[in-house]
Amino acid sequence: MTKEHFEPPLASLSFSHVYYNPDDPVSLLCAWLALLPQALGVSYATLVIAQREIEVLLMFAGQLSCEALNWALKRYFKQGRPKQMYGNGYGMPSSHAQFMAFFAVYFSLWIHRRSKGFSPVVRWALSGGILAVSATVALSRIYLSYHTAGQVACGYFVGALFAVVWFLATAWMRVTDLGGKGGMFDWITGGRRLWELVMWIGGLGYVKDLCTEVDIVRWEWEVWRRGSLGVTEGAKILQEEKKRI
């Protein structure tokens, strides 16, 4: 007598699984928009590895911290999703709305307050476009019935607020005199200022702090255009770019 072989039921990878109405073009567009946070996550990782910019690392760290906060808030509120939604998990606050709000608000603050590599027109165009896209992604979660309007509004508010707090924290890190003055934190910082410690640690992985000073794309192109350059010539181009900005 042969034993029957039972296969376990298949499961869906909810990380990238999106329900939508195949007869509704808007629903299909919303389904694609739902994958934007995953695409941004890949972009973060690519930039961190390829560019080694401290600003990208700080923004990525803030993004991950914001996601951790969303995880905690969902388990605190324990509010379900709309009844017409087949998905599992809690719905308050919307993680998509919170993710996109953090990204859009932090990037807008960075490009207006910290970056020197863009003209005013480009800054407003980029920040306005990204804010519009983030709002569209948030609204798409309501359209697809993954979240209520309240859950999306809460997620967007939390993400935007966390972005402001994180931006202020990173700005404080750059200017604070904490450490390096013989205070109680010297044993932590090794006698360095906090930002010097951050860059010293980052230097172990060849992390640089350049995108706040120049347009990196233009600067790298100038280095390439002028051919094989030594350290002195490369520094000269960097100074020229700073004067141009």
**Residue 12: band (very low, low, confident or very high) from pLDDT cuts 50, 70, 90:** low
Q: For residue range 169-228, what is the model confidence (pLDDT) as tens digits?
A: 998 888 777 666 666 666 666 666 777 777 888 888 888 887 777 777 777 777 766 655
First to last CA, the chain: 82
Instruction: For the chain, give the longest Cα–Cα distance.
Output: 85
**121 to 84, 111, 128, 162: CA distances (angstroms):** 43, 11, 11, 26
- Rounded to the nearest integer, the mean pLDDT of the chain is 81
Q: Which residues make beta-bridge pairs with 53?
A: 208
In this predicted structure, the answer to whether residue 4 has a pLDDT above a threshold of 70 is no
Query: Are 141 and 96 in contact, with CB atoms under 8 Å apart?
Result: yes
Query: Are 89 and 81 in contact, with CB atoms under 8 Å apart?
Result: yes
The amino acid occupying position 187 is: W
Range with lowest mean pLDDT among 52-61, 69-78, 108-117, 193-202: 193-202
**Residue 157: band (very low, low, confident or very high) from pLDDT cuts 50, 70, 90:** very high
CA 89/CA 134 separation, integer angstroms? 22
**CA 149 distance to own-chain centroid:** 23
Q: For residue range 68-80, what is the model confidence (pLDDT) as tens digits?
A: 999 999 998 888 8
pLDDT score of 198: 78
pLDDT score of 195: 75
pLDDT score of 1: 47
The alpha helices in 18-148, defined as continuous H runs, are: 25-33, 36-51, 54-77, 95-113, 120-143
Q: Which residues make beta-bridge pairs with 208?
A: 53
**128 to 18, 94, 109, 124: CA distances (angstroms):** 27, 22, 11, 6
CA 237/CA 130 separation, integer angstroms? 31
**Residue 229: band (very low, low, confident or very high) from pLDDT cuts 50, 70, 90:** low
Domain boundaries of the chain, sorted by first residue: 25-175, 186-244
CA 197/CA 7 separation, integer angstroms? 54
Number of other residues whose CB lies within 10 A of the CB of residue 150: 14
